[in-house]
Amino acid sequence: MNDFFSSVTQPIPFEGPESENPLAFRWYDADRLVAGKPMRDHLRFAVCYWHSFAWDGFDIFGQGTLDRPWIGSGGDAMDAAKMKMAAAFEFFEKLGTPFYCFHDVDIAPPGDTLAETARNLDEMATLALSYQESTGVELLWGTANLFSEKKYMAGAATNPDPEVFAHAAGQICHALETTHRLGGHNYVMWGGREGYETLLNTDYQQEREQLGRMLALVVEHKHKIGFDGPILLEPKPFEPTKHQYDFDVAACDAFLQRYDLVDDVKLNIEVNHATLSGHDFDHEIAAAFASNLFGSIDANAGDDRLGWDVDRFPVSVEQMSLGMYQILRNGGFTTGGLNFDSKLRRQSIDREDLFYGHIGGMDVMARSLLIAAELLADGVVEDVLKSRYQSWTNPLGQGILGGSETLESLRLHASENDYVAPASGQQEHLENVVRRYIEQVR
């Protein structure tokens, strides 16, 4: 075990809700059985490489603040990548997360040529494989960075130049094969700059066709190499572009149906992207399950007063309990998990801060899982929901849904049955129930 995080001398233990040890879990007890399954298998936590190890805290107003000696060291880029990977796996192991996620450029530096870039990625993937084997940490998903380089300034798949499309395709091809080689459970298509700034220079229909074609090529290659996991699109409404094509779950749903991709492509839903699109987190989850598109989650938090993508660590048990409730009532994760696409504030410059961020996020999600599981097991919300729609099982409801009723027959029915008895939606009562579980579940 490397010693970048030498002040943390042992794996983070579970100590229970009364613990005051900042380097212990109060709620995440990996082996605790919840609804017949260990917490570890419900939550499937992953640490992301990019915010935690490939970012030094720089923002548009200032330089890096975080202690990441492998960034900008000026030395050999591959040596720096190896130092970064040693620190990353040391962190994964001490924190006790079963998974991690990366972009190709997070783990391996780009070379001067495409061939050199590929060699770098292959060499780093070999090293990653040996770390995976020695630590037991698995790859939740891999992806390609198709937005940082200048050539991608007008998008990758949606670029006006097919040569850029070809470069993006080549990069995805190698990142997908690398993900497959590392036993990745999913492959993510995160459309960093797949959008536009103005329609004055953008052919909307042309770009949508290109995006559909790229995704079809990825699906075709996934089958060719025998990659079993789903391809995941990640909805986001805007930022950095003014309009992103993968705006929200509903927009992705329509897009995937148009290009006949619903069997192979699912969605990676990020909390902060959901709120940026004007939706609640649990809405996006429910929308994905309704169309059989639920894949994975990027667990983080926005800020109520900031209209941009701040990627804080999860902080709200209420928000996450409502999200976990939707996940649990629809059967939970299969290939996906909870990836902390979360980053430290740039003033959090101690090495322990990375532990505090993740420990807090894992505890918020674990507590939310417990609350959601008890709510579901007790049926207190589900029973109200079921009874609310109960009359749709009656002949009238069945006739409407089954197609035997027409607009005219319904007019006749309504004129013969004047009396309608509205029932309370009981929203305040249900909110009180959720609050009671938040207060009481242990």
- The residues that touch Mn ion, with contacts defined as CB under 5 A, are 272, 309, 311
Least distance from Mn ion to the Cβ atom of residue 104, Å:
19
What is each CA distance from 177 to 78, 126, 170, in whole angstroms?
A: 20, 13, 11
Tokens at 2, concatenated:
């490397």
CB-wise, 106 or 311, nearer to Mn ion? Answer: 311
Our CA dihedral for 158, 162, 168, 171, rounded to 10 degrees, sits at 160
Q: If you ran DSSP here, which 8-state letter would residue 199 be given? A: G
Query: Radius of gyration of the chain from Cα atoms?
Result: 24
Task: Judge contact between 267 and 234, C-beta under 8 A.
Answer: yes
Find the shortest distance in angstroms from Cβ 436 to Mn ion: 32
Q: Which is nearer to Mn ion, 29 or 298 (CB)?
A: 298
Residue closer to Mn ion, measured from CB, 52 or 272: 272
Q: Please identify, using beta-carbon distances, which residue of 98 and 302 lies nearer to Mn ion.
A: 302
| Nearer to Mn ion (CB atom), residue 261 or residue 276 | 276
Three-state secondary structure call for residue 217: helix
| Helices of type H across 390-425 | 395-402, 407-416
Output 125 or 269, the one with its CB closest to Mn ion: 269
Shortest spacing between CB 57 and Mn ion, in angstroms: 16
Q: Could you tell me the smallest distance in angstroms from the CB atom of residue 53 to Mn ion? A: 17
| Distance, CA of 312 to CA of 361 (rounded, Å) | 9
Beta carbons within 8 Å of 282's beta carbon, 6+ residues apart: 319, 322, 323, 325, 326
The long-range contacts involving 106-110, CB below 8 angstroms and separated by at least 24 positions, are 106/49, 106/50, 106/53, 106/54, 106/145, 107/49, 107/81, 108/78, 108/81, 109/77, 109/78, 109/80, 109/81, 110/149
Closer to Mn ion by Cβ: residue 186 or 272 = 272
Smallest separation, CB 144 to Mn ion (Å):
17
Enzyme catalytic residues: 103, 106
- Residue 268, Ramachandran bin (φ over 0: left; ψ between -120 and 50: alpha; else beta): beta
Distance of closest approach, residue 404 Cβ to Mn ion, in angstroms: 47
* Pairing status of strand 37-38 against strand 33-34: antiparallel
DSSP summary character for residue 304: T
Nearest residue to Mn ion, scored by beta-carbon proximity: 309
The least CB distance from residue 273 to Mn ion, in Å, is 6
Contact status, residue 250 vs residue 212, Cβ threshold 8 Å: no
* φ, ψ of residue 45 in degrees (nearest 5): -65, 140
Number of residues that make up the chain: 442
Question: Closer CB to Mn ion, residue 194 or residue 309?
Answer: 309
Show Cβ contacts of residue 404 under 8 Å, excluding neighbours closer than 6 positions. Answer: none
257: alpha, beta or left, given left = phi > 0 and alpha = psi -120 to 50? alpha
Q: How far is the CB of 283 from Mn ion (least distance, A)?
A: 17
